[in-house]
């Protein structure tokens, strides 16, 4: 494993679930726990069977700990499904698939929250137990539920995303309580750290994974005001999303499925933008927005891919910072 | 399956967990859902990980539905343990073993209770879903937690029973809230039914399984006032308990480990007492208390054993009733 001189400063990565978590894993392999922290979306957190479920935190936790399911990118590897089968027999809601081992995380978290721990505290406790040395930082300890406006009306995030499989046509998003939410204390420490030299927005869905993070407690404004390089990696590669509904949502919002549109979406925040090597032809348009660009292999299949992209992104942040 | 003329009246069976549930299964095989109902202890109910766990209700539910684990008598057959293994990894309490499929029952029940259903309603709903036609009747919808007084101080039931494996020496029991608890509405219907012709106290632990039932809402007094035969089956066979800590507790309470002592314990309530065939020599002493007795094979291993004992008990109740 390559190690980076710690005097080169700290990086904060901002992520949603599966796609972003891949880059976080890459970053965790080349930067120490002091050098990189991971700010995670909690807009898709919800209560199910009375359990507090934090899908993006869990995906990142499983990814960083090596417990993840390599087939799906979410949930645990080697998972079994006896709980949910028994729940179906009882006539309970079974639309949200909860694996037997995964369930321990939700039950543990819910119990701790009920006893007065904050989401950040429980998240840190879980991360430590599963062997993660890096900090997994919920954007806020306050609930900031994402509501999806669709042609069929407003839907809570998981009803749209899992129960309805992103089928209803989307026309907008509300990040409830975002203005009133506070940035979690551990994340605030990262933001206030004078050694923070850059922010990386990972290739998660901009509308339903990253925007809720940026909205919560004014986080987007706060990172802009840091006056450090803010670099995003495009989740759209050659007109398509690697995974999930990003392209479908963009189409429904009448936005072209291009990396240019993603750059446009984030440009008020960004100093640099990472496009896929297959999208080189788009670089000029993005540079016209006043952003630095770099192209790289952004499709991450192997661990090597994740580490390589992490290195490219890190070099890019430092290069911009040095300018 | 033998069927009994329904004009012969209804029977209410009173039970704790494993031992009593065996006789209930036997009764359920020879009496229709209109002819027999099962009043179950809830004194060992407790909250664990924020889940409402009802061990005796669950044991009876699994036993009557055929889902039970024939090896242990509690829990489900074919169970897996991935949840509790993951919980151990997280550092959560793992002293109470929760199987993956079993967990569905607790999560389902807890969610329904949180939404305002009563314990009786949820219990009936679960019983129906797992194919039980007979009524499983929690003694009360109110909490009536059993507290065990030991040489080490007072212990909540499950801490004594499971966490401490009945090791601390017992010197008494408290059935908290028993006086203020109300008999559950469905059970009240059984008690008020003019066709109720007998009560059977199943071979569960008298001190920690049956006494909490008798204490709750004055249930013991209510069944005495019915003026119908009340018959108990001895959980002590030839000086030993079939299963569980009954004999150990009796020793600690300075009570001889005999069926006679059990009859003495219950005699204020009883009209008849069923002893094991190996305890025939004790019949005279029990008859001296003014009780009718009958001896039978009370050790139930096979389904046939359970049905045979159920038939003997039923005939005994009717014989006393006809006198």
Q: For B6-322, which CATH superfamily applies?
A: CofD-like domains (3.40.50.10680)
H or E element that contains B15: strand B10-15
- The mean pLDDT value for B291-308 works out to 97
* B114 vs A contacts (CB less than 8 Å): 50
Q: Judge whether A297 and A305 are in contact, CB under 8 Å.
A: yes
Separation of CA A63 from chain center: 12
For residue A174, give the 3-state DSSP assignment: strand
B126 at interface of A, judged by CB pairs closer than 8 A: yes
- Residues A130, B89: C-beta atoms closer than 8 Å: yes
Q: Which residue's structure tokens are 């890190």?
A: A314
**Which residue on chain B is closest to A112 by alpha carbon?**
B49
Q: What whole-number distance in Å separates Cα of residue B306 and Cα of residue B22?
A: 6
Of A92, A108, A130, which is closest to B104 when you measure between CB atoms? Answer: A92
Helix, strand, coil shares, percent, chain A, to 5: 45, 20, 35
Q: Which residue's structure tokens are 């039932």?
A: B213
pLDDT value at B147 more than 70: yes
Q: So what's the pLDDT on residue A309?
A: 98
A130 at interface of B, judged by CB pairs closer than 8 A: yes
* A103 vs B contacts (CB less than 8 Å): 83, 86, 100, 103
Q: What whole-number distance in Å separates Cα of residue B147 and Cα of residue B149?
A: 6
- The mean pLDDT value for B264-281 works out to 96
Contacts of B210 (CB under 8 A, 6+ apart): B14, B16, B20, B41, B201, B202, B204, B266
Q: What whole-number distance in Å separates Cα of residue A232 and Cα of residue A200?
A: 6
Q: Nearest 5°: CA angle at A92, between A88 and A98?
A: 70
Q: Judge whether B268 and B309 are in contact, CB under 8 Å.
A: no
Neighbours of A152 (CB within 10 A): 12
Separation of CA A166 from chain center: 18
A67 at interface of B, judged by CB pairs closer than 8 A: no
For residue A136, give the 3-state DSSP assignment: strand
Q: So what's the pLDDT on residue A7?
A: 53
B128 at interface of A, judged by CB pairs closer than 8 A: no
Band of the pLDDT at B7, cuts 50, 70, 90? low
pLDDT in tens, B244-269: 899 999 999 999 999 999 999 999 99
pLDDT in tens, B211-227: 999 999 999 999 999 99
Q: Judge whether B63 and B300 are in contact, CB under 8 Å.
A: no
Q: What whole-number distance in Å separates Cα of residue A17 and Cα of residue A253?
A: 22
- Residues B50, A110: C-beta atoms closer than 8 Å: yes
- Residues A83, B101: C-beta atoms closer than 8 Å: yes
Residue spans of the domains in chain A: they are 6-67+120-143+177-322
**Which residue on chain A is closest to B90 by alpha carbon?**
A129
- The mean pLDDT value for A167-176 works out to 96
- Residues A82, B79: C-beta atoms closer than 8 Å: yes
- Residues A50, B129: C-beta atoms closer than 8 Å: no
Q: What whole-number distance in Å separates Cα of residue A146 and Cα of residue A177?
A: 9
pLDDT value at B243 more than 90: no
Using the CB atoms, write b or e for B60-69: b if 16+ within 10 Å.
bbbbbbebbb
pLDDT value at A314 more than 70: yes
B111 at interface of A, judged by CB pairs closer than 8 A: yes
- Chain B: nearest CA to A79, how far in angstroms? 8
Mean model confidence pLDDT for chain A: 94
- Residues B50, A114: C-beta atoms closer than 8 Å: yes
**Which residue on chain A is closest to B89 by alpha carbon?**
A129
Kindly report the CATH class assigned to A6-67+120-143+177-322.
alpha beta
* B108 vs A contacts (CB less than 8 Å): 49, 87, 90, 92
pLDDT value at A6 more than 50: no
- Residues A130, B102: C-beta atoms closer than 8 Å: no
Q: Judge whether B116 and B59 are in contact, CB under 8 Å.
A: no
Q: Alpha carbon of A299 to those of A193, A278, A305, A309, B230: distances in Å? A: 32, 10, 7, 9, 75
Q: Give percent of chain A above pLDDT 70.
A: 98
Q: At what angle do helices A82-90 and B119-129 cross, to 10 degrees?
A: 100
- Chain A: nearest CA to B52, how far in angstroms? 12
Q: Is the pTM of this model over 0.80?
A: yes
For residue A188, give the 3-state DSSP assignment: helix
- Chain A: nearest CA to B104, how far in angstroms? 5
Q: Give percent of chain A above pLDDT 90.
A: 89
pLDDT value at A241 more than 90: no
Q: Nearest 5°: CA angle at B7, between B3 and B12?
A: 75
pLDDT in tens, A173-203: 999 999 999 999 999 999 999 999 999 999 9
H or E element that contains A90: helix A82-90
- The mean pLDDT value for B206-212 works out to 97
pLDDT in tens, A262-299: 999 999 999 999 999 999 999 999 999 999 999 999 99
**Which residue on chain A is closest to B100 by alpha carbon?**
A83
H or E element that contains A124: helix A119-129
Q: Judge whether A112 and A125 are in contact, CB under 8 Å.
A: yes
Of B90, B126, B130, which is closest to A108 when you measure between CB atoms? Answer: B90
DSSP string for residues in A196-213? EEEEEE-SS-IIIIIHHH
pLDDT value at B2 more than 70: no
For residue B75, give the 3-state DSSP assignment: coil
Mean model confidence pLDDT for chain B: 94
- Structure tokens, A75: 């949930």
pLDDT value at A74 more than 90: no
**Which residue on chain B is closest to A48 by alpha carbon?**
B111
A92 at interface of B, judged by CB pairs closer than 8 A: yes
Q: Which residue's structure tokens are 């020879």?
A: B30
pLDDT in tens, B80-130: 999 999 999 999 988 999 999 999 999 999 999 999 999 999 999 999 999
Q: What is the DSSP letter of B161?
A: I
Q: Judge whether B226 and B218 are in contact, CB under 8 Å.
A: no
Helix, strand, coil shares, percent, chain B, to 5: 45, 20, 35
- Residues B110, A80: C-beta atoms closer than 8 Å: no
Burial (CB count <10 Å: 0-12, 13-18, 19+), residue A102:
buried
- The mean pLDDT value for A217-225 works out to 97
Q: Alpha carbon of B87 to those of A106, B47, B303: distances in Å? A: 10, 16, 36
**What is the interface pTM, i.e. ipTM, of the complex?**
0.90
Band of the pLDDT at B70, cuts 50, 70, 90? confident
- The mean pLDDT value for B141-159 works out to 95
Of B80, B85, B104, which is closest to A90 when you measure between CB atoms? Answer: B104
A84 at interface of B, judged by CB pairs closer than 8 A: yes
Best mutation target, B46, B80, B89, to test chain A (most A CBs within 10 A): B89
Q: So what's the pLDDT on residue A120?
A: 98
């Amino acid at each position: 494993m390559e190690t980076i001189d710690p005097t080169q400063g700290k990086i904060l990565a901002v992520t949603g679930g599966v796609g972003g978590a891949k880059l976080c894993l890459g970053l965790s392999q080349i930067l120490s726990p002091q050098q990189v922290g991971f700010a995670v979306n909690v807009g898709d957190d919800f209560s199910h069977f009375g359990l507090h479920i934090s899908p993006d935190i869990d995906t990142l936790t499983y990814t960083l700990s090596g417990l993840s399911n390599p087939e799906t990118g979410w949930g645990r590897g080697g998972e079994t499904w006896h709980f949910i089968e028994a729940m179906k027999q009882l006539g309970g809601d079974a639309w949200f698939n909860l694996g037997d081992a995964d369930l321990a995380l939700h039950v543990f978290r819910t119990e701790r929250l009920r006893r007065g721990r904050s989401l950040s505290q429980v998240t840190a406790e879980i991360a430590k137990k599963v062997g993660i040395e890096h900090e997994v930082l919920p954007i806020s300890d306050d609930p900031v539920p994402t509501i999806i406006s669709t042609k069929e009306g407003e839907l809570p995030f998981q009803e749209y995303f899992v129960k309805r499989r992103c089928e209803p046509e989307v026309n907008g998003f509300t990040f409830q309580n975002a203005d009133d939410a506070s940035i979690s204390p551990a994340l605030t420490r990262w933001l206030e750290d004078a050694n923070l030299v850059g922010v990386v927005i990972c290739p998660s869905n901009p509308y339903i994974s990253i925007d809720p993070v940026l909205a919560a407690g004014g986080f987007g404004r706060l990172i802009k005001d840091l006056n450090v390089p803010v670099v995003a990696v495009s989740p759209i590669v050659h007109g398509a999303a690697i995974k999930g509904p990003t392209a479908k949502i963009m189409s429904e919002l009448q936005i072209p499925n291009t990396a240019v549109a993603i750059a446009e979406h984030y440009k008020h925040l960004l100093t640099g933008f990472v496009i896929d090597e297959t999208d080189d032809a788009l670089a000029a348009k993005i540079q016209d927005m006043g952003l630095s660009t770099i192209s790289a292999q952004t499709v991450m299949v192997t661990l090597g891919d994740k580490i390589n992209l992490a290195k490219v992104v890190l070099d890019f942040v430092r290069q911009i910072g040095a300018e």
